[in-house]
Amino acid sequence: MRFFAALSVLIGHVELTKHFFDVPNCNDLFERINFGGMGVYFFFVLSGFLITYLLCVEKERTATISIKDFYVRRILRIWPLYFLILVLGFFVLQRFDFFVFFPTSFKENYSSNLLLYLIILPNLAFSINQQPVAHIGQLWSIGVEEQFYIFWPALVKFSKKLMRTIVFLFCSYILLKIVIMLLPHFMATGQKYLAVKRFFAMSKFECMMMGSMGAVLLFEKKEGILRLLYNPVLQVVALVGFPFLSYSAGKDNFFQNVVHLPLSFLFLVIIINIASNPKSLIKGEHRWLEHLGKISFGIYMYHLIIIFILVKLLKLQFSENPVLANMLVYPFSLFFSCLISHLSYVFFEEYFIKLKLKFTKVISG
C-alpha cells in the first residue's frame, strides 16, 4: 500500500515537472485527478492507522506508553533521510548549473526556508514563501506528520475513552479549519493571514485522525462497524471510486478543500480490509510488494530529483517525439527511484532502523 501511494505521487510529479519545463504534458488532467494529493492522503491515513494501533497494543501489553521511546523511533526512522534530502536541496544540488531551478526564489528565501526546514516546519516555509525549495518540495508532508505526532502518543496514553477523544478532536479541528477558511469572507485579512490559511489547508491532521479511528475500531473489535466496512460492495466502491471522486472535485475551490475527507474514508476502508478481513477483495501479501513497501519512504524522498534529471535530459525529445519520451520517462523514473531507494535502505537507512528496534515494544506486521 505504501508503494502504490508513493507511485501515485511519482506519477503526478512527472507531469508537474514536464509542465515546469514547458514540454507537452497532461498536468491539467493529472492535477484534476490529483494523483499526488491522493498518494499523500493515503500515506497520512495509513500512518494514523498503523501508529495508533501499535500504540494501543503497547498500552495493552505494558499498561503504559513510553513517549520518549516513541519520539526516538520517529527520529531514527524519519530524520536521517529527511536531513540527507535537506542537505542535498540546500547545499549540494544548487551548486551545479544542471540542477538550478527556481533560482530567484531559492536565493531570496534561503535563510527563512533553511531555518524552517531545519526545525521540521517545511510546510510553514511553503505556506509563507509560496514556492517549494527545488527538488525537496515533498518534505512538506513529512513536516505535517512530525507535527501531528508531537502530541499523539500522549493523547493515546492518557485518554480513557480514546475513540470519543479522537472524534471530539476530529470535529473540533474540522470546525477550526472551516472558521479559518471562511474568515476572509467576513473581515479584512492581510498577507500574514493568507500564510496561516495555507498552513492549515496543508496540515491534513484530519486524515491521520481518520486513520486512527479505524485503528481503534479494529483494536477494540467493534464487530458491527467492521462488518459494514467488510461489505464487498463498499470495498468495490472504495477501490474504484477514489479517482472519480477526486476528479469530480475539479477546480471547485470548496470541494477541493474537503474532498480529502471522503477520500480518506475510502482509503481507510481499503486499509482495514487488507489488514483484517480474510475475505478482502485485495490480498496484501506479495513478496516483491513487501520490499517495495519497505523502500517506499525512499521512493517518496528521492523521486523528485530523479524525475528532474530525466525530464531535463529528455526535454528535446518531448518536443520532437513525446510518445517515445513518455515511454522512457515513466519506467526510468520508477526504476531509478526504486534502485536508489533500495541502495539507500540497505546502506544508509537500515542502520538507523536496527537502532530503532531497541526502542520498539511492538513490531509492526
- Measured CA to CA, the distance from residue 248 to residue 259 in angstroms comes to 9
Using only C-alpha atoms, the chain has a radius of gyration, in whole angstroms, of: 21
pLDDT at 288 over 90: no
Query: What residues have CB less than 8 Å from 298, skipping those under 6 apart?
Result: 81, 337, 340, 341, 342, 344, 345, 349
Give 28-63 pLDDT, tens digit per residue.
888 888 888 899 999 999 999 999 999 999 999 999
- Measured CA to CA, the distance from residue 162 to residue 48 in angstroms comes to 14
Reported confidence tier of residue 251, pLDDT bands at 50, 70, 90: low
pLDDT at 353 over 80: yes
Give 310-340 pLDDT, tens digit per residue.
999 998 888 888 888 888 999 999 999 999 9
- Measured CA to CA, the distance from residue 219 to residue 34 in angstroms comes to 32
Q: Which amino acid is at 70?
A: F
CA neighbours within 13 Å on the CB side: how many for 169? Answer: 20
Asked if 273 and 229 count as a contact pair (C-beta separation under 8 A), the reply is yes
pTM higher than 0.75:
yes
Give 67-84 pLDDT, tens digit per residue.
999 999 999 999 999 999
Q: Residue ranges per domain, the chain? A: 2-357
